[in-house]
Amino acid sequence: MLSHHNILNNGFFIGETLRYTERDRVCIPVPLYHCFGMVLGNLAITTHGACMVYPGESFEPGAVLRTVQEERCTSLYGVPTMFIAELDHPSFAATDFSTLRTGIMAGSPCPVEVMKRVQREMHMPEVTICYGMTETSPVSTQSAVDDPLEKRVATVGRVHPHVEIKVVDPGTGRVMPRGTPGELCTRGYSVMLGYWEDAHSTRLAIDAGRWMHTGDLATMDGEGYVNIVGRIKDMILRGGENVYPREVEEFLYTRPEIADVQVIGVPDLKYGEELMAWVKLRPGAAPTSEELRAFCKGKIATYKIPRYWKFVDGFPMTVTGKVQKYKMREMAIAELGLEAAARVKTA
């Protein structure tokens, strides 16, 4: 349950960070029933007198590119999968992006290489990343339009005005040292009133100190910039080593043939879990799993190199563009014949 106080203030501070004025025209291809379209979109824009531009009833990359050009948009929103689809669209090279200056990539972890291309090739020098969740109205951290480029493409920025954040040990609640992964918690005006008619789930999510436990693993550097390294439930435990899929994905994105990649953990009788990479290639590219494995050797730790590789045209996703890794895991168990390993009970 989100109040007017929650969402109106959050939208206002998002618009402030993007430096919106009545001269801005914002292209919104994300759903309006979701916090991205409703708060980062409608409320951030309405509170600053800017113009809202909707390219269609549902996302289609060609329509977004046409809208940006024809409506002379100054800002563009999207989740990473949307920007990837736009960058790879046949009409991308012919699109005029000269009116763009800013925008938001959010909704799921943003690959550094994708952010660099958006900043450089889509004429969005002031593009920012927002991090948050519906339960926090949604934005808790955001990069600023004048942050150093490396901070804007490789972090989710710093804490929003009038909000508190901390990174804690998920088991003990102890605040972690700077640079050490832990669960990101948020407190302030933005935290939800609670889950509708579900007091038990509300107590599990919001502790006695009113801290919202996000379930996301993050680090915070000495300047307060936050980096999301994964979800607690997505972390892979391989032979006693913690592996964060995001780290492996970011490395694989540096391979030019790879358009998109998702790394998951699958059950293994020897190590408990093994890594599997689902890879979406660029048109015309055809590297083998052996070539990609060889690319990894000597550059990332051996235990972080995926054992299994699957080349795909897409990933199971929600309607808001978030990849459903649990479905990928279910499919992989069936396809790889790992049912016996999946049945092993652990403490």
Looking at residue 175, what DSSP letter applies?
B
Strands (E), 118-257: 126-132, 139-142, 158-159, 163-168, 182-188, 212-220, 226-231, 236-238, 241-243
Residue found under tokens 């990609």: 292
The answer to whether residue 347 scores a pLDDT higher than 70 is no
Q: What is the pLDDT of residue 321?
A: 86
Cβ pair 227, 156 in contact under 8 A: yes
Residue found under tokens 């291809």: 29
Q: Domains of the chain (ranges plus CATH)?
A: 4-157 (3.40.50.12780), 164-229 (2.30.38.10), 235-342 (3.30.300.30)
Parallel, antiparallel, or unpaired for β 212-220 and 226-231?
antiparallel
pLDDT tens digit sequence for 286-320: 999 999 999 999 999 999 999 999 999 999 998 88
CA distance 181 to 167: 7
Q: What is the DSSP string of 9-56?
A: HHHHHHHHHTT--TT-EEE--S-TTSHIIIIIIIIHHHTTT-EEE---
pTM for the predicted model, two decimal places: 0.86
User: Mean pLDDT, to the nearest integer, of 103-107?
Assistant: 93
Q: What is the pLDDT of residue 240?
A: 82
Q: What is the pLDDT of residue 131?
A: 95
HSE of 162, CA atoms in CB hemisphere, 13 A: 11
CA distance 215 to 183: 6
